[in-house]
Amino acid sequence: MEQILSFLTMFYKNPHFPKTIFLILCLVLCNTVSKAQHAPFEVTLWPSTPPGNSGLTGPETIDEHGFVHNVTLPSLLVYPAAQEKNTGMAVLIAPGGGYSFLAINHEGKEIAQWLAGNGITGVVLKYRIPNGHHAIPLADAQQGMRLIRENSAKWKIDPNSVGVMGSSAGGHLASTLLTHFDAATRPDFGVLFYPVITFADSLTHRGSVRGLAGENLTSQLRNYYSNEKQVTAQTPPVLLLQSDDDRTVPPQNSIMFYEALKSWQIPAALYTFPSGGHGWGFRPSFRFHDQMKQLLLDWLQNDAGQSR
């Protein structure tokens, strides 16, 4: 900014430089600076080698659907809130993908961009694929919360208004963070799209279980990651959204989590759309896309802060 001011001053002091041109220059440069301030940017999640090792090798790849595979270097993709609308709120977003890939566009970047346009900083968590090493995604999510709060002043975020959002397996990761946290990593609220919640055999999504914990799931791990069993009085408010005809992750997952929240008198809302199946995320082709956005924005603006 100082360099830009110096550049403009040089022209302003030149008596032969037309003032109209000078004003146009000012407007163009100020507009450029404003856009740069709102441009998305990427931040490395860990300052050095991340804890744990998934055992994955080879490069990260993106398939024809835009899904990201083989993630071993986690990061945050930050979409700053528009300055004139900034509410100070931020949301850490975990895309789904069965813990085997990341549906980073329609369950990540597109949501973050929409949030930013509504004054909420969207932060996409590009978490590592666990490859059966179950502790890795939660470690990345917890670090994401720390990093957002550590940079809250720089990113113009209220550190007491940082939530987590997730879809499908990303919803499981988000619900794990909502129930497994310390003082530095506790989200202030949560939003879950058609989440995997339980690891109970009859209701879970087995692909997500296998992706997270591998083939040798112990009873201790099954209990630990059945997040309906991990709700306490300290769990923050949660919004759940799903479709009644979801054949991939049974709707009972969200219902179980909602009931667990209510048993502890945690503020919560559950919306079940009559159709849509699984994995709609922020795709406009979802029949209830506009209604979903309105419900989501209304809840974030009016109900997300009930526990604060």
pLDDT at 218: 94
pLDDT tens per residue, range 151-200:
999 999 999 999 999 999 999 999 999 999 999 999 999 999 999 999 99
What is the spatial distance between Cα 51 and Cα 135, in angstroms, rounded to a whole number?
A: 9
Q: Is 255 helix (H, G, I), strand (E, B) or coil?
A: helix
Residues 6 or more apart from 220 whose CB is under 8 A from it? none
What is the spatial distance between Cα 221 and Cα 127, in angstroms, rounded to a whole number?
A: 20
E-strand spans in the chain?
41-44, 61-62, 68-69, 75-79, 90-94, 101-102, 121-126, 162-167, 190-193, 238-243, 268-273
pLDDT at 12: 61
Q: What number of other Cβ atoms are within 10 A of residue 201's Cβ?
A: 10
Of the candidates 283, 196, 300, the residue with the CA atom closest to the CA atom of residue 248 = 196
pLDDT at 118: 97
Asked if 159 contacts 85 with a C-beta cutoff of 8 angstroms, the reply is no
What is the spatial distance between Cα 204 and Cα 241, in angstroms, rounded to a whole number?
A: 17
Residue type, 164: V
pLDDT more than 90, % of the chain: 85
Residues of the chain with pLDDT below 50 are: 1-2, 25-36, 308
What is the spatial distance between Cα 194 and Cα 250, in angstroms, rounded to a whole number?
A: 8
pLDDT at 247: 96
Distance of CA 238 to the CA centre of its chain: 14
pLDDT at 19: 63
Look up residue 273 and give its DSSP letter: E
What is the spatial distance between Cα 148 and Cα 78, in angstroms, rounded to a whole number?
A: 9
pLDDT at 35: 46
